[in-house]
Amino acid sequence: MTEAEQTLILWDIDRTLLYVGDIDRQVYREAFAELVGRPAKYLPARGTGVTMPLAIRSLLVNNGVPEPDVHDLVPRMVELLPHLLAAHAADLHEQGVLMPGAVSALKAVHTRTDLVPTVVTGNLKRNAMLKLEAFHLDGFLDTEIGGYSSDDDHRPALVAVAQERASAKYGAPFTRSNTVIIGDSLEDVRTGLEGGALVIGIASGKTTANELASAGADVVLDSLEDIPRLLEAVATTTRDPD
């Protein structure tokens, strides 16, 4: 890679940069009760990294909502969730936590002129922004060029969304050889493998380092705390992509 070339960095959010505890699940509870009219007995699994529209669909199906109603309720819940999360904006900061090393890692990537940092996340865009803004992380990311589940509920497709937006804004091609996902889940790994990005796995969530490596992550780190190692991982994967 020459000095003029840039690498697109696609940060995952939940359990990679921050963790908001039970707030997401509380919002699912509130949305289900408001739209279905009864409490939800089963909630989406934690830490899977699946997109919100797919998690909503599972929430409805697993709680016995008939298929015709599911079809109608998914878009209504997609529209409602950001409003409900916004009502918990103060709770995000008070109850949520930053993952170890997250701020330093974001700052280190942001200051590099050869790295273009944004996000690829299973969150709807407004939900993603609420979480990032709660911890003042949005300033380290070009959120205009990110890929969000409000763009597509198939998470691997979000890599191309971000690449196309980044290429249009920065006037450079972004492909698998110069795009890196940094995330904690098996879904992050799958997103990179199927969507066209290299993957740095961070064992900060529910997935172990061995599981991330076995799934196909190019590099696996225990956390974001070792900044030189993180930056070297980015350089190594893009210097010699498979």
**Who's near 204: CB < 8 A, 6+ residues apart?**
15, 16, 99, 100, 184, 222, 223, 224
pLDDT value for 84? 98
Pair (87, 175) in one structural domain? no
The verdict on 154 and 230 lying in the same domain is yes
Evaluate whether residue 222 is within a structural domain.
yes
**pLDDT given at position 3:** 41
Structural domain boundaries, residue 82: 21-95
Examine the domain organization and report whether 217 and 154 are in the same domain. Answer: yes
Q: Are residues 15 and 25 in the same domain?
A: no
Average pLDDT over residues 84-106: 97
In this prediction the pTM is 0.95
Contacts of 214 (CB under 8 A, 6+ apart): none
- Tokens coding 26: 């509380």
Band the pLDDT of 49: cuts 50, 70, 90.
Answer: confident
pLDDT more than 90, % of the chain: 93
Which tens digit of pLDDT belongs to each residue from 112-159? 999 999 999 999 999 999 999 999 999 999 999 999 999 999 999 999
- Number of domains comprising the chain: 2
Measured CA to CA, the distance from residue 203 to residue 224 in angstroms comes to 9
**CATH number of domain containing 29:** 1.10.150
Q: Is residue 2 part of a domain?
A: no
Average pLDDT across the chain, whole number: 95
If asked whether residues 104 and 223 sit together in one domain, one would say yes
Of 66, 95, 124, the last residue of a domain is 95
pLDDT of residue 81: 97
Dihedral pair phi/psi, residue 88, rounded to 5°:
-105, 20
What gap in Å lies between CA 237 and CA 239, rounded to an integer? 6
Residue 242, pLDDT > 80, answer: no
3-46 pLDDT tens trace: 458 999 999 999 999 999 999 999 999 999 999 999 999 999 88
Half-sphere exposure at residue 227, Cβ-oriented, CA atoms within 13 angstroms: 12
Which pLDDT score, from 0 to 100, does residue 4 have?
Answer: 52
* pLDDT at residue 48 in the model: 86
What SS3 class is residue 126? helix
Q: Do 33 and 60 reside in the same domain of the chain?
A: yes
**pLDDT tens by residue, 185-216:** 999 999 999 999 999 999 999 999 999 999 99
Place of tokens 């803004």: 133
pLDDT confidence of residue 1:
39
For residues 136, 181, 223, 6, the Cα torsion angle rounded to the nearest 10 degrees is: -80
List the one residue out of 34, 40, 130 whose CA is nearest residue 76.
Answer: 34
**Domain of 147: which CATH number?**
3.40.50.1000
Q: What is the pLDDT of residue 71?
A: 95
My answer on whether 115 and 206 are in the same domain is yes
pLDDT per residue over 51-82, tens digit each? 999 999 999 999 999 999 999 999 999 999 99
Instruction: Write out 97-108 in H/E/C secondary structure.
Output: EECCCHHHHHHH
Same domain for 74 and 126, yes or no, is no
Going 194 to 196 to 198 to 202, the CA torsion angle's sign is negative
177 and 234 both lie in a single domain = yes
Order of strands, sheet of 219-221, starting from the edge strand that comes earlier in the sequence:
115-119, 7-11, 179-183, 198-202, 219-221
- Asked, for residue 78, whether it belongs to a domain, the answer is yes
112 and 52 share one domain: no
pLDDT at 2 over 70: no
Q: How far apart are the first and last CA of the chain?
A: 15
Q: For the residues 92-113, what does the mean pLDDT come to?
A: 97
In the prediction, which pLDDT does 16 show?
97
Q: Are residues 120 and 15 in the same domain?
A: yes
What are 219-231's pLDDT values in tens digits? 999 999 999 999 9
State whether 37 and 113 are in the same domain: no
